[in-house]
């Protein structure tokens, strides 16, 4: 396996957390992993993104130009990354905020109203994990059950209350893409 994932959204939408969840899961599953956030002026009022690499080989460059899988949570991220997804790659867009549609026919696209679905589950802030569910429900680069185990094992004691809601958000994302 070698997947290069970009997750991108406004600061506060949880792109970095979703990426870390993926990275922890990858590590626990025995893959080589790297997670790198955007840092610097870009974060102030703009878009925050992270790059996650999961590989069966040691990872050289942790930065990449063309992701094989990309999750875009807001319109600027769609504009920036949609053209960059590798041919044959996967683009998952949060259609609550992203109105545009990709015109590319060489990539797989998933549009999911993640904010609405997360709000229905009780907290719009879980849109990031709904999107992660949609991503893994479309391409199971890591098993959903492993992601749940990661939540159990790596969320610190003082934040235990977020585990079950996030598991439901993950499942909601999977369920949505299986239905459409």
Q: List interacting residues with other proteins (CB under 8 A).
A: 20, 23-24, 27, 33-37, 39-41, 59-65
Neighbours of 143 (CB within 10 A): 12
In the bound state with other proteins, the residue whose beta carbon lies nearer, of 52 and 131, is 52
The answer to whether residues 48 and 9 touch, using CB atoms and an 8 Å cutoff, is: yes
* Minimum distance, C-beta of residue 65 to other proteins, in the bound complex (Å): 5
* Minimum distance, C-beta of residue 39 to other proteins, in the bound complex (Å): 5
The span from the CA of 48 to the CA of 167, in Å, is 24
In the bound state with other proteins, the residue whose beta carbon lies nearer, of 12 and 60, is 60
The span from the CA of 17 to the CA of 25, in Å, is 12
In the bound state with other proteins, the residue whose beta carbon lies nearer, of 12 and 41, is 41
* Minimum distance, C-beta of residue 130 to other proteins, in the bound complex (Å): 23
* Minimum distance, C-beta of residue 120 to other proteins, in the bound complex (Å): 31
In the bound state with other proteins, the residue whose beta carbon lies nearer, of 38 and 166, is 38
* Minimum distance, C-beta of residue 129 to other proteins, in the bound complex (Å): 18
Angle between helices 127-138 and 15-28 (to 10 degrees): 50
Neighbours of 56 (CB within 10 A): 9
In the bound state with other proteins, the residue whose beta carbon lies nearer, of 52 and 114, is 52
Which residue shows structure tokens 């994302």? 173
Q: Quick one: how far is CA 25 from the chain centroid?
A: 13
Closest CA to 37 of 59, 17, 57: 17
């Amino acid at each position: 396996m070698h997947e290069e994932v970009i997750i991108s959204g406004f600061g506060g939408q949880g792109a970095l957390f979703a990426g870390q969840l993926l990275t922890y899961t990858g590590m626990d599953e025995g893959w080589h992993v790297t997670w790198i956030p955007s840092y610097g002026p870009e974060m102030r009022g703009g878009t925050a993104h992270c790059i996650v690499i999961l590989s069966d080989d040691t990872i050289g460059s942790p930065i990449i130009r063309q992701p094989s899988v990309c999750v875009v949570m807001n319109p600027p991220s769609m504009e920036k990354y949609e053209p960059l997804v590798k041919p044959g790659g996967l683009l998952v867009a949060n259609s609550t905020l992203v109105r545009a549609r990709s015109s590319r026919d060489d990539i797989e696209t998933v549009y999911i109203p993640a904010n609405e679905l997360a709000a229905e589950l009780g907290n719009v802030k879980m849109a990031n994990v709904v999107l992660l569910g949609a991503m893994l429900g479309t391409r199971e680069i890591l098993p959903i059950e492993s992601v749940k185990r990661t939540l159990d094992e790596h969320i610190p004691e003082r934040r235990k209350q977020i585990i079950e809601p996030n598991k439901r958000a993950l499942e909601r994302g999977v369920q949505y893409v299986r239905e459409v």
